[in-house]
Chain A
Amino acid sequence: MISFLLRRLGAAVVLLLVLTAIVFGLQKLTPGDGVRAYVGANASPQAVAAARQHLALDSPLPEQYARYLWHALHGDFGTSLRTHDSVARDIGSFFPATAELVLCSFLIAVIMAVLFALSGAIRVPGGFLYRGVLLLGATAPPFLLGLGGLVLFYAHLGWLPASGRGDDTGPTHLILLDGLLHDNAGQFTGAAQHLVLPALALAIAPALAIGRILRSSLDTTLATEHVRTARAKGLRPSAVIARHVVRNSLGPALSMAGLQLGFMFAGVVVVEQIFNWPGIGNYLAESIPVADFPAIAGVTLLLGSIYIVVNAVVDVLQALADPRITL
Chain B
Amino acid sequence: MSPSPATRRRTTALCAVAGLAVAALTACGSGSHSSSGAAGSSAPPSDGVLTLGLNGDIGQPPDPDIYYANNGVAIIQNVYEGLVKYKDGAGTVQIAPSLATSWSVNKGNTVYTFHLRHGVTFHDGTPFTSAAVGASFARRLAVNGGPAYMVAGVKNVATPDDYTAVVTLKQPNSAFLNYLASPFGPKMESPTGLAKHAGKDHDQAYLSKHDLGSGPYELTTAETGREYDLTAYLGYWGQKSPFTTVKLPVYNDVSSLELALDQGDISGAVNALPASSQSHYQSLSSVSNYFLPTLGAALLTLNPSKSFFKATAARMAFLKMIDQDKLVSQVMGQTSQPASTLYGKGMIAGGADKQNIGYDPSVMQAYAKTLPPNTPMTVGYATGNSNAQKMAAIIVAQLLADGVKASAQGYTTATVFSWPADPTKGPDAFVDGSNGPDGGDPYMWGHVFWDKSGGIDYFDCDDPAVDSMLNQAEKTGDTGLYVKAAETYSATGCYMNLAYNKDWVVTQKWVTNVPQAHNIGSFELNFNELGISKAS
Interface residues of A (CB under 8 A from B): 30-34, 36-47, 50-51, 54, 82-85, 90, 93-94, 121-126, 147, 150-151, 153-156, 158-164, 185-186, 189-190, 192-193, 196, 222, 237-238, 272-276, 278, 282-283, 285-286, 288-291
Q: Which of B144, B251, B455 lies in contact with A163, CB distance below 8 A?
A: B251
A158 touches B144 (CB 8 A): no
Cα A270 to Cα B290 in complex, Å, equals: 32
Cα A84 to Cα B207 in complex, Å, equals: 11
Cα A283 to Cα B223 in complex, Å, equals: 12
With a cutoff of 8 Å between Cβ atoms, the chain A residues found around residue B204 in the complex are 84
Cα A38 to Cα B7 in complex, Å, equals: 61
12 contacts between A and B (CB under 8 A): A31-B418, A37-B59, A42-B68, A42-B146, A42-B448, A43-B455, A82-B60, A84-B61, A276-B256, A278-B226, A286-B56, A286-B57
Binary A-proximity of B136-175 (CB < 8 A = 1, otherwise 0): 0000000011111100000000000000000000000000
With a cutoff of 8 Å between Cβ atoms, the chain B residues found around residue A93 in the complex are 224
B420 touches A45 (CB 8 A): yes
A275 touches B414 (CB 8 A): no
Q: Which of B249, B262, B417 has the most CB of A within 10 A?
A: B417
Task: Output the least CB separation between B321 and chain A (Å).
Answer: 28
A36 touches B66 (CB 8 A): no
Nearest A residue to B436 by beta-carbon distance? A42
Task: Output the least CB separation between A134 and chain B (Å).
Answer: 14
Nearest A residue to B414 by beta-carbon distance? A32
With a cutoff of 8 Å between Cβ atoms, the chain A residues found around residue B208 in the complex are 83-85
Of B28-36, B121-129, B341-349, B473-481, which stretch is located at the interface? B28-36
A40 touches B413 (CB 8 A): no
**Does B259 sit at the interface, judged by CB under 8 A?**
yes
Q: Which of A36, A189, A237 has the most CB of B within 10 A?
A: A36
Cα A47 to Cα B456 in complex, Å, equals: 13
A161 touches B30 (CB 8 A): yes
Task: Output the least CB separation between A250 and chain B (Å).
Answer: 19
Cα A254 to Cα B265 in complex, Å, equals: 42
Q: Which of A38, A50, A155, A190 lies in contact with B259, CB distance below 8 A?
A: A155
B265 touches A162 (CB 8 A): yes
B452 touches A45 (CB 8 A): yes
Cα A273 to Cα B3 in complex, Å, equals: 43
Q: Which 8 A-B pairs have the closest CB atoms?
A: A40-B68, A32-B414, A40-B146, A291-B414, A43-B146, A159-B26, A33-B418, A36-B417
**Does B25 sit at the interface, judged by CB under 8 A?**
yes
With a cutoff of 8 Å between Cβ atoms, the chain A residues found around residue B101 in the complex are none
- Known contacts A32-B418, A163-B249, A193-B29; is A147 also within 8 Å of B255 by CB? yes
B26 touches A122 (CB 8 A): no
Task: Output the least CB separation between B260 and chain A (Å).
Answer: 6
Segment 247-303 of B: residues with Cβ below 8 Å from A: 249-253, 255-256, 259-260, 262-263, 265
- Known contacts A159-B32, A273-B252; is A32 also within 8 Å of B415 by CB? yes
Q: Which of B32, B144, B256, B414 lies in contact with A274, CB distance below 8 A?
A: B256
Cα A151 to Cα B57 in complex, Å, equals: 23
B412 touches A290 (CB 8 A): yes
B147 touches A285 (CB 8 A): no
Cα A160 to Cα B24 in complex, Å, equals: 12
Q: Which of B4, B29, B263, B453 lies in contact with A189, CB distance below 8 A?
A: B29
Nearest A residue to B145 by beta-carbon distance? A39
B67 touches A40 (CB 8 A): yes
B11 touches A125 (CB 8 A): yes
Cα A50 to Cα B141 in complex, Å, equals: 12
**Does B46 sit at the interface, judged by CB under 8 A?**
no
Task: Output the least CB separation between A182 and chain B (Å).
Answer: 16
Q: Which of B4, B225, B421, B456 lies in contact with A42, CB distance below 8 A?
A: B456
Q: Which of B145, B251, B414 lies in contact with A33, CB distance below 8 A?
A: B414
Q: Which of A38, A40, A126, A289 lies in contact with B147, CB distance below 8 A?
A: A40
Nearest A residue to B4 by beta-carbon distance? A237
With a cutoff of 8 Å between Cβ atoms, the chain B residues found around residue A196 in the complex are 25
Cα A42 to Cα B250 in complex, Å, equals: 23
With a cutoff of 8 Å between Cβ atoms, the chain B residues found around residue A155 in the complex are 39, 259, 262-263
Segment 406-424 of B: residues with Cβ below 8 Å from A: 412-415, 417-418, 420-421
Cα A121 to Cα B67 in complex, Å, equals: 60
Task: Output the least CB separation between B139 and chain A (Å).
Answer: 15
Task: Output the least CB separation between A77 and chain B (Å).
Answer: 16
Cα A272 to Cα B223 in complex, Å, equals: 16
Cα A1 to Cα B59 in complex, Å, equals: 47
B226 touches A82 (CB 8 A): no
- Known contacts A43-B68, A47-B144, A196-B25; is A164 also within 8 Å of B252 by CB? no
Cα A85 to Cα B208 in complex, Å, equals: 9
Nearest A residue to B14 by beta-carbon distance? A115
With a cutoff of 8 Å between Cβ atoms, the chain A residues found around residue B39 in the complex are 155-156, 158
**Does B369 sit at the interface, judged by CB under 8 A?**
no
Binary A-proximity of B59-71 (CB < 8 A = 1, otherwise 0): 1110000111100
Nearest A residue to B412 by beta-carbon distance? A289
Given contacts A36-B414, A39-B146, A125-B11, 11 further A-B pairs with CB under 8 A are A33-B414, A41-B413, A41-B417, A93-B224, A124-B7, A154-B32, A159-B25, A161-B31, A163-B251, A192-B25, A291-B412
With a cutoff of 8 Å between Cβ atoms, the chain A residues found around residue B453 in the complex are 44-46
With a cutoff of 8 Å between Cβ atoms, the chain B residues found around residue A272 in the complex are 252
Binary A-proximity of B38-63 (CB < 8 A = 1, otherwise 0): 01000000000000000011011100
Q: Which of A33, A54, A189 lies in contact with B28, CB distance below 8 A?
A: A189
Cα A46 to Cα B144 in complex, Å, equals: 11
A286 touches B146 (CB 8 A): no
Nearest A residue to B63 by beta-carbon distance? A84
Cα A33 to Cα B4 in complex, Å, equals: 65
Nearest A residue to B224 by beta-carbon distance? A83
B59 touches A274 (CB 8 A): no
- Known contacts A192-B25, A193-B29, A274-B256; is A123 also within 8 Å of B68 by CB? no
A288 touches B3 (CB 8 A): no
Cα A286 to Cα B225 in complex, Å, equals: 9
**Does B438 sit at the interface, judged by CB under 8 A?**
yes
Task: Output the least CB separation between B491 and chain A (Å).
Answer: 24
- Known contacts A85-B208, A150-B256, A154-B263; is A44 also within 8 Å of B425 by CB? no
Binary A-proximity of B1-19 (CB < 8 A = 1, otherwise 0): 1111011100100000000
With a cutoff of 8 Å between Cβ atoms, the chain B residues found around residue A222 in the complex are 1
**Does B454 sit at the interface, judged by CB under 8 A?**
yes
